[in-house]
Structures are given as C-alpha cells and as structure tokens.
Amino acid sequence: MPASTRHHRALAAIVHCVGFLTALPVLPAATAPDAPMVGRPQVAATAEPDPTAPEPDPSLLTPDPALPAAPPAVPTPTRLASPAPAPKVSVAVAPKNSTEPGYRIEVRNAGNAPVSTTVRQELPRGVSATSISDGGREVRPGGATATAVTWQLRLPPRSTTTLGTTLRTAAAQQPLTAPACAFAGDGRQPYDCASATWTSPQAATNESQQPSGWRGQVPALLIGAVAALMLAIVGFVTWRRNRRPVAAALASDGPGRVYPRPATPRPPASRRTPPIWLIVPVAATVLIATIGIAAWTATRRVTAIDTDSQPTNGAWKGTGVSGRLGVPLREDAFEFTVYRMICEPGQQLRQCQATVGVRNVTPEHQSWHGKLQRAYLPNGNWVTTDEPATRRANQGRDVFAEPMAAGSRMVLPLVFTVDGRAAPERLELRSGVFSAGVRVDMP
C-alpha cells in the first residue's frame, strides 16, 4: 500500500474518532447506559432479560416529589418587577379677594388612573373655619393647639377638584398663611403641597397708596440737591474773584507812537478767599445734609434687620431667616417651606414628622445632610433627623443620598425622634455646614 494512502486512511480514522467523541455529550439519554436513580433498583446488564425476574414497582420509577428537581439546562432570565409610577397629583392654593380670610384649593390628578387622597389644610393657632366646601371637616389633632381642615377625595383621571375655605381670626387685618397638602391614603406620605397668604383688601389698598421707589426718597434727594446748589454758587463766586484782568497797552492822548507803561514793582498778589457770610451757611448746609443722609440710611438698615435671625457665628454663609408655617424661606442654596408638623400622641419616646418642601435655587447640584436638620424642644435641647425613620417614611428612599438637581423641588417627610411629651417648637433647616439656614416656628 502506498505511503500516501496509509496516511490518508489514518487521518480519516482520527477525524472520525474526534467527531464521535464530540457527539457523545449530545446523544439522547435513551442511548446512554442506565444511570442509577433514586428509588429505582439497579439491574445488572445482561445479554437477554431474565424472564423469571419480578416486574419493578411503577411507583419506584416516578421521581420523589419531595426531593429537589434538577436545574434546567438553560437558566430562565429573572425580570425585576418595575415599581408602580407615582400618582401625578398636584396642589395649588390661591387666596380669595374677600373681606374675610378665604382660600381656593385646586387638586389636580394628571395621571390616567383614579387616585385616593387626603387633602389637609393647616390653620394657624387661634384660627377657625366658618365655611368649608362639601366633604370637608375641621379636626384638631391630639395635643395640638392648631386646627386643620381635611377632605377625603377620590380623584378621577385627568381631573381637577376645587375646594374652598373661609376662616375667622381675631386680627382680621393681618396677613394669614394657610398651607394645604395632598397625602396618600394613610395621610402621611405627601404627594404635593402649596401655600398662599391672604391679605385684607383694605390693607392692600393702603399699602399701594404709600410712596414707593423714588417717592420714598424725596427728603434725601432734596437735601442733596440743596447741597449741590450751594457748592455750585461758592465755586462760581470764587472763580469770578480769582480771574485776572488782561493786560492792555496804554496809548497817548493823541496820535503818535505807543509806549508801554514802564515796569514798576508789583506787590505780591494776595490769595482771595470767599467772604465769611458765604462760607458759614454753605458749611452748615453740607454738614446738615451729610448727617441727614447718614441717619436716614442707618434707620432704613436697622429697620430691615431682624435681631432674632442673625447667625451666632461669624463663619455662617448668608443671613439667617425666621418665619412661620407655610411661608417660603430662602437661605444660601435652598428654599425651605414647612407645611405641617405632627407628633405621635401618648408616648414618652415618640416620632414627630414634618412635611417640608425643598427647592434648589442655585444653578448647580447641591447636597444636604440629615444631621444638619434640627428640631428644638421647649427646654432648649435639640435633635437631628432620624434618618432610618425618615427613609421608612419616604418608602425606603434615602433623600440625603443623592444631591438635588439645579432648580428642582421636592416635598418630603422628615422624622425627628423626641424624648418627652412636649412637641418641637422650632425647626432649623440648612443646606450646608456653613449656611446660616432658616428657622420655622411651630404653632
């Protein structure tokens, strides 16, 4: 046999063996020898079956259901259940143009599914409702000094529901702020909040009649004009007195040659000064104008200063601002609005939940921290945010984990755990360590 033929046959045999070995794993289980199974008797392989052997029990051929099944050859991909989208509920509050404090509350459901919500309007201390739109009622939380008006609503998809209240207060002419929020069915998770301040029409008219802009600065402008006029007069008189006459040639009485006057020694020129009768009134006018402008400016600045809101440390950025419930307060980077504060009744160690609106008023992302938010008790002690409880109140979301986007706004609950039966009387909120922050008095 030629060598080439032997080589070709040996190569063909090797290829067939490799192909056979490769196909073994994919052969059906029926062609493989019987593997030992749980609950199945093992029978020795013989050339012919033994007719005298007993038939195997069919129940033994069935796999035991109590035992775990074999994993599939190809794993089934796991799909994460996507969370249900948050309801698109928004709240808008506007004051009524009436002689008594009144508000119009619009609750809008922009989603495609109906939403059940609890709308709650917080009333300041000493204020009660005289009229409430259909479905609302006035409530007083346990231990609270202020009241609230609540509605239980079922918002249809793509709908807007309008509510209204009229309030009664002892100080009828004073501005009144009453925020409103839409909560989930449990009344604790806020969807959205809004606030508005009612002002008496008479007070608004009186304010519009007061001088504003340059009209309020007439005294200062008048004093400045008089001072400028007196200075102009003094300058003109001084210039006229110090102007020297132009030398001219002297001519003879008749025709002939013109000769210059012989040079004669001149006496030293004395410096002319304005008369005393002019200096004294001008100096007095300038002095009075300067003192008047300085006093007016200082009075305006002192009036605008709130001594209670000044930071106690010179390292703070900005100026501290104080306000009340429902009033937007702006500090270095954030605008805070506290809409509500509610505490669990009847416990020594209890949780107080504040509904807070936060807006980033800067063009950059801003981070904030739970340890910088404080609740002050009547005895002067303070506690920081209970971050685990705040995470649970926000349905497992850590609101301090990621920075707030520029221009964004969110409404969220902050939880404070206090020891004692007294509720916090003031909240102190800030965006950063060196920010002066805002202070909100609780009713």
Least confident of 1-10, 262-271, 288-297, 309-318: 309-318
Q: How far apart are CA 321 and CA 132, in angstroms?
A: 33
- Residue of higher predicted confidence among 76 and 140: 140
The one-letter code for the residue type at 391 is R
pLDDT confidence of residue 187 = 77
Q: What is the architecture of the domain spanning 321-441?
A: Sandwich (2.60)
Q: How far apart are CA 418 and CA 146, in angstroms?
A: 20
Q: Is the pLDDT of residue 311 over 50?
A: no
- Quick one: pLDDT band at residue 37, thresholds 50, 70, 90? very low
* Reported pTM: 0.59
- Residue of higher predicted confidence among 307 and 376: 376
Query: What are 317-366's pLDDT values in tens digits?
Result: 777 899 999 999 999 899 999 999 998 887 788 999 999 999 999 999 99
Query: What are 73-100's pLDDT values in tens digits?
Result: 444 444 443 444 567 899 999 999 888 8
Q: How far apart are CA 224 and CA 219, in angstroms?
A: 9
In the chain, domain spans = 89-200, 219-234+275-304, 321-441
Least confident of 95-99, 207-211, 237-241, 292-296: 207-211
Least confident of 3-7, 93-97, 255-259, 316-320: 255-259
Q: Strand 349-360 to strand 409-419: parallel, antiparallel, or no bridges (unpaired)?
A: antiparallel
pLDDT confidence of residue 82 = 43
Residues of the chain with pLDDT > 90: what percent? Answer: 39
Protein fold of 89-200: Immunoglobulin-like (2.60.40)
Q: How far apart are CA 226 and CA 223, in angstroms?
A: 5
What is the average pLDDT value for the chain, to the nearest integer? 75
pLDDT confidence of residue 118 = 94
Measured torsion, CA atoms of residues 442, 351, 188, 360, in degrees rounded to the nearest 10: 60
* Mean pLDDT comparison of 43-57, 147-161, 199-213, highest-scoring range: 147-161
- Quick one: pLDDT band at residue 33, thresholds 50, 70, 90? very low
Q: Is the pLDDT of residue 18 over 60?
A: yes
Secondary structure of residue 337 in the 3-state scheme? strand
Residues of the chain with pLDDT > 70: what percent? Answer: 61
Give yes or no on whether 89-200 and 321-441 have one common fold: yes
Rounded mean pLDDT, 102-120: 94
Q: How far apart are CA 109 and CA 159, in angstroms?
A: 5
DSSP 8-52: HHHHHHHHHHHHHHHHGGGS-GGGSPPPP-TT-------SS--TT
